[in-house]
Amino acid sequence: MDPSEFRRHGHALVEWIAAYLSGSERYPVLPRVAPGEVRRALPERGPEAGESFEDIFADFERILVPALTHWNHPGFFAYFPATTSASGVLAEFLSAALNQQAMLWRTSPAATELEEVSLAWLRDLLGLPSAFDGVIYDTASISSLHALAAARQAAVPDVRERGLAARPEIGGLGVYCSDQAHSSIDKAVLTLGLGQSSLRRIAVDDQYSMRPDALRTALDEDRRAGIRPVAVVATIGTTSTTGIDPVNAIADICRDDRIWLHVDAAYAGVAAMLPGCASYFAGWDRADSIVINPHKWLFTPFDLSAFYCRRMEVVREAFSLVPEYLKTPEASEGARNLMDTGIQLGRRFRSLKLWMVLRHFGAARLRTILAEHIRLAHEFAARVDEHPDFERLAAVPFGVVCFRANPRALQLGSAELDLFNQRLLDAVNATGEVFLSHTRINGAFVIRIAIGHLRTTGAHTDRAWELLLQQTDGLAVA
C-alpha cells in the first residue's frame, strides 16, 4: 500500500469507526447468525494474488459485521462489561503502526518505561501502596497463572530446576479459593502441574464470601495430611454474584502461615478508585499479588490486564531466563527487561492505551462514570425489590444485579422457575436491543445484568427493565 492509498483507506476507516462507536445501537447486540455461517461465506483458500482493500473491506461489512456481537453496544449487559473508548482505539491504531516489541528495555525503552509509569498511575488511583510493582499481561487468566507460578516458586524453591514429578518428599500442594472463584484459577493449577485436585474450594457464607473459619480448617487438615499450602486466592467481585471475600481476615491467616495471597479483582478492582467502595477492598493492600482488568470496566480496548505484585523478584526467579543473544548492557544500569517477568518473550505496546485512557478521561471523570454505573445498578435492584413478581438473589456492591422473575400468579416450582427464567432471558435477548446473561446460585437459574458500558445510560437500563416486564407478561400468558 503506498502512502496515498494508506491515507485514503485510513481516513475512510476512521470515518467508519467514528460512526460505529457512536452508532452501535443500529445493530442487534447479539448477531442473528447460525454456527458455520461465517465460515461458509468465506473462501476455503486464501488468494494467490493480493486483493484491493476496497474488496476486502466490502467483505468485512457484508460477512463479518452481521456476525459481530456488539460488546460496545450500550445494551450489552452480559457477563462483565468490556467496553472501549475512542482514546483507547486511537492508541491501538498507533500501537499497531509502531509495532513495538518490548521484550528488552532496548527493544523499546518507551514501551518498557511507559508500562511502569501507567501502572504506577493506576496503582495510585486505586489507593494501592508503591510496594506493588506492576506488569501488564493480556488477561486475568494469565495474570493469575503468573501469580500462582510465583507462589509455587516461593513454596518449592527448587521447582524451577527439578519440577514436581516423582518427588515424594514434596507431598501434596494445596491452593485455596472459594467455591465462587473464577475458573481461571482451576486452569492455572492445571497448567502449573499442581493438578485440579490440589485446588481446595472453600465454602462461602450467605453473602457468597469465603468463610475464613472454613479456610483455617482446610489448611489445618491439609497440613496434618502432609500437604504444603502454596497460595490462597481471594476474590473481590466474583464472577457469578460479585461477592467479596473478607480479604483482611484471609490476609491474617496467610500472614500467620506464610502463604502467598493473590487477590482476583479482575472485574471490580477499578472500583477501588471510588471512596464509597473503599470498604470492599479493605485488606487487599496486604496481598502478595493482585489482578485488575482495565479491559473490563476502564474503557481500555481488550486486552489489558494489570498484575501487581509486592514480590516481583519471585516472579523473576520463576521466569527470568536470558540466552546469550538477549544479553544487554542496560540490565546492569537498572533498566528493566519485561521478558523477565513473564512466560512470553515478545510483548506488545499495551501500556499506550492505558496511558492514553487515563490521561484523556482523567481520574475525576473515570470516578464519575463508574459511580453512575453503580447508581444505575442500585436503581435497577430497587425496581426488582419493589416488584412483587421479581426477586433479587445477591447484594449489589458494584454494577451487577442478580435476579429472577417469579410471577406470583403462576406458583412455579423450582424446576419450572428455572425454565421460566431461561425462556425469559432468551426472549429478552431475541429482541436484539439488549443482551443479558445468566448464572446459577445454589442451583437456581439466575439472570444477571452487568452495567458498565461507557455509553450505557438510564434510558438503556429502563429499556432492559421494560423488556423484562413485557416478556414476563408474554410468557405468563402463554
Ligand X SMILES: *Cc1c(COP(=O)(O)O)cnc(C)c1O
By the criterion CB under 6 A, which residues form the site for ligand X? 80, 139-141, 182, 184, 235, 237, 239, 264, 266-267, 293, 305
The sign one gets for the Cα dihedral 142, 30, 456, 451 is: negative
Nearer to ligand X, 139 or 406 (CB): 139
- Contacts (Cβ under 8 Å, ≥6 apart) of 216: 253
Nearer to ligand X, 239 or 461 (CB): 239
Nearer to ligand X, 150 or 475 (CB): 150
Nearer to ligand X, 149 or 159 (CB): 149
324: number of Cβ within 10 Å: 5
Nearer to ligand X, 290 or 467 (CB): 290
Query: Helix, strand or coil for residue 438?
Result: strand
Nearer to ligand X, 84 or 141 (CB): 141
Nearer to ligand X, 138 or 462 (CB): 138
**Distance from C-alpha of 120 to C-alpha of 17, rounded to nearest angstrom:** 31
To the nearest whole angstrom, how small is the minimum distance from the Cβ of residue 236 to ligand X? 8
Query: Helix, strand or coil for residue 164?
Result: coil
**Distance from C-alpha of 438 to C-alpha of 436, rounded to nearest angstrom:** 7
To the nearest whole angstrom, how small is the minimum distance from the Cβ of residue 400 to ligand X? 10
Nearer to ligand X, 305 or 421 (CB): 305
To the nearest whole angstrom, how small is the minimum distance from the Cβ of residue 266 to ligand X? 4
To the nearest whole angstrom, how small is the minimum distance from the Cβ of residue 268 to ligand X? 8
Nearer to ligand X, 239 or 429 (CB): 239
Nearer to ligand X, 374 or 467 (CB): 374
Query: Helix, strand or coil for residue 462?
Result: helix
Query: Helix, strand or coil for residue 390?
Result: strand
> Phi/psi of residue 236, each to 5°?
-110, 105
Burial readout 15-30 (b: 16 or more C-beta within 10 A, e: otherwise): eeeeebeeebeebbbb
To the nearest 10 degrees (0 to 180), the angle between helices 247-257 and 212-224 is: 20
To the nearest whole angstrom, how small is the minimum distance from the Cβ of residue 204 to ligand X? 14
To the nearest whole angstrom, how small is the minimum distance from the Cβ of residue 263 to ligand X? 10
To the nearest whole angstrom, how small is the minimum distance from the Cβ of residue 79 to ligand X? 8
Query: Helix, strand or coil for residue 153?
Result: helix
C-alpha cell at 311: 514480590
For 293-429, list the strands marked E by DSSP.
305-309, 390-392, 400-405
Burial readout 381-407 (b: 16 or more C-beta within 10 A, e: otherwise): bebbeebebbebbbbbbbbbbbbbbbb
> Phi/psi of residue 266, each to 5°?
-55, -50
Which uninterrupted H or E stretch holds 450? strand 444-450
To the nearest whole angstrom, how small is the minimum distance from the Cβ of residue 240 to ligand X? 10
Given 3-state DSSP classes, what are the helix, strand and coil percentages for the chain, each rounded to the nearest 5?
Answer: 55, 15, 35
Nearer to ligand X, 105 or 299 (CB): 299
For 42-184, list the strands marked E by DSSP.
133-137, 172-178
To the nearest whole angstrom, how small is the minimum distance from the Cβ of residue 289 to ligand X? 13
Nearer to ligand X, 140 or 210 (CB): 140
To the nearest whole angstrom, how small is the minimum distance from the Cβ of residue 395 to ligand X? 16
To the nearest 10 degrees (0 to 180), the angle between helices 351-386 and 86-98 is: 150
To the nearest whole angstrom, how small is the minimum distance from the Cβ of residue 82 to ligand X? 8
- Contacts (Cβ under 8 Å, ≥6 apart) of 11: none
To the nearest whole angstrom, how small is the minimum distance from the Cβ of residue 80 to ligand X? 5
